[in-house]
Amino acid sequence: MAVPSRSQISPGTVVNIVLKEDQRSGTLTEGVVERLLTKSPNHPHGIKVRLEDGQVGRVKEIL
């Protein structure tokens, strides 16, 4: 499954992300995007975002 590109994600989007500490286990965290942190249009590991609760991780899927 391909990770979403930057153009598919915007503030307010509900997503599943992988937090830095969960990269080995692959545990997903659900949340609402507050801000996009990756500037490039795509990234092999997912676009890095900050959720509204302050957590930062890479988007694996859009819900």
pLDDT in tens, the chain (63 residues): 689 999 999 999 999 999 999 999 999 999 999 999 999 999 999 999 999 999 999 999 999
Domain 6-62 in this protein, CATH class: mainly beta
Tokens of 5: 């590109």
pTM score of the predicted model: 0.92
pLDDT at 1: 66
Domains in the chain: boundaries? 6-62
Q: What is the DSSP string of 1-63?
A: -PPPPGGG--TT-EEEEEEGGGTTTT-EEEEEEEEE---SS--TT--EEEETTS-EEEEEEE-
Rounded to whole angstroms, how far apart are CA atoms 55 and 47?
Answer: 14
